A and B are shown apart, each in its own frame.
Chain A
């Protein structure tokens, strides 16, 4: 093995799923070459993670993968839940006529992988490559680099990487090789996941049934996907054997019974069957020297609320710009510690929400079961309890307490855009009167939103300026959402490359902005 030729790559990404491929695309847009290795010979099979949040659409937009995603995917804003046959909740996710993206898009995971992969190829002059059918065999993490032995049908090779990004999923070999363990809990309740092909006229919504006559005692979720595919999730009884539960002879009658109940009569065929139980697991840290963990390799969160892939894409969005700056020498290495701080915090939030959703969707004991029975019955005519049924869909997490959060100065009318908050969207006009969404300017470098006047004292070279004044903000979204007391108030807001607010200051003096970049460790 010692004679093996050793190839050097600046960044090795273990795992070519949606997170690894997106990370490679993001890095290549930042000018950083990486090599992705993926154990499978191609994109995943089965629909897997199908709900792509607005925040994830923005992140995919940073590499131009949003256009095919939106063109192929099915956008949606609302959902309905039923107890037995009666509707007990109708919820709407935040949406507005001026929005850039729907709050959620349904699409099979293999399409997301394909679009992220294509985003690499299109940006690929820098030599980023994806190598299929290669798996990590052994990892030696050293002080200045990482040695990775890689196995494939073509033989064995060794890579010496400056940085290793582990995106190799819930059963991560990198995690195992480093001797790291998940912490947290697993829930017993199991859900069978079935894709079927069937034409339908129903609107795209999240549909849930508790205790439907088609499957008494069970809970059923349905989502439409592109290509005339339904995703159907249903809970199995605690005493059912999981291996038996996924056999077509046990799955298909339940599906048939439910389709009949809801009046979907077109012919149908099953495409994919899997099984799932809720897990709330995370590594305590996502950085181990020169090895980083992202996506399912770093954390497993419950399926309910669709925080799995969406949080993985947020990991990628958070890590890419930081690693790129460090590799380029623009930031000290310590900046990378903030990746773990921020994303572990996000996971803990996601787990808290996910656990709540799971306790309702797959009640862990008699008490949660009994209380759910009570809530569903009361919800028939008592709207005060209906919010308990709401699925708490994924939303971008605030980075409270992050070391990167700079101060804010002066009075602000709202806390929505404080340091550590996801930067709010706004539909603006540029100097030529062309409309653009503010979020479309995020994803590359730092930007300063300069409200009502030229910045005083100059902005750092690598901070782009977006001037905003009443004529550029015809809907009044920017000044309101960023918390200005009046539309003409001068102010500066510093937005990170991943679309998070870093600091905000009343007035136009850029000195505190420059100081914030220094004291937070972004610039040396």
Chain B
């Protein structure tokens, strides 16, 4: 995937999230994650990506709104 491809996909995902709304956004992201996980070669790959995301969420939490 080129930088431009990533950029296009990022924007499309933002727009899709905006369209389904804040309440359904986690559902959309969960569906998308699952379908991306299914396209990986192995569980090892998936587990390391999940672990990294989990760690970053805990280390760098969002601010309280």
Contact = CB atoms under 8 A, between A and B. Distances in A.
B36 interface: no
Contacts, number: 50
A384 interface: yes
B25 A367 contact: yes
Contacts of A377: 56-57, 60
B58 to A, nearest CB: 11
A378 interface: yes
B52 interface: yes
A84 B60 CA distance: 9
Nearest to A373: B62
Nearest to A380: B56
A216 B56 CA distance: 18
Contacts of B10: 371, 375, 388
B3 A367 contact: no
A381 B52 contact: yes
Interface string B41-65: 0000000000011001100101100
B13 to A, nearest CB: 6
A172 B35 CA distance: 52
B60 A387 contact: no
A273 to B, nearest CB: 26
A356 interface: yes
Contacts of B7: 356, 387-388
B6 interface: yes
Contact of A385 (B6, B16, B57, B63): B6
A84 B59 CA distance: 12
A367 B14 CA distance: 5
Interface in B9-36: 10-11, 13-18, 22, 25
Given A377-B57, A377-B60, A365 B52 contact: no
A370 B11 CA distance: 12
A352 to B, nearest CB: 10
Contacts of B52: 378, 381-382
A368 B14 contact: yes
B63 A371 contact: no
A157 B7 CA distance: 53
Contacts of A370: 17, 25
Nearest to B60: A377
A204 to B, nearest CB: 25
A359 B13 CA distance: 13
A454 interface: no
A378 B56 contact: yes
A217 B56 contact: no
Nearest to A390: B3
Contact of A371 (B3, B17, B56): B17
Contacts of B63: 211, 216-217
Nearest to A372: B14
Given A359-B14, A387-B3, 6 more contacts: A84-B60, A356-B7, A371-B17, A378-B52, A387-B6, A388-B7
Interface of B: 3, 6-7, 10-11, 13-18, 22, 25, 52-53, 56-57, 60, 62-63
30 contacts: A83-B60, A216-B63, A356-B7, A356-B11, A359-B11, A359-B14, A366-B17, A366-B25, A367-B14, A367-B16, A367-B18, A367-B22, A368-B14, A370-B17, A370-B25, A371-B13, A371-B14, A371-B17, A373-B62, A377-B56, A377-B57, A377-B60, A378-B52, A381-B52, A382-B52, A384-B6, A385-B6, A387-B3, A388-B7, A390-B3
Q: Which 5 A-B pairs have the closest CB atoms?
A: A367-B17, A387-B3, A367-B18, A377-B56, A367-B14
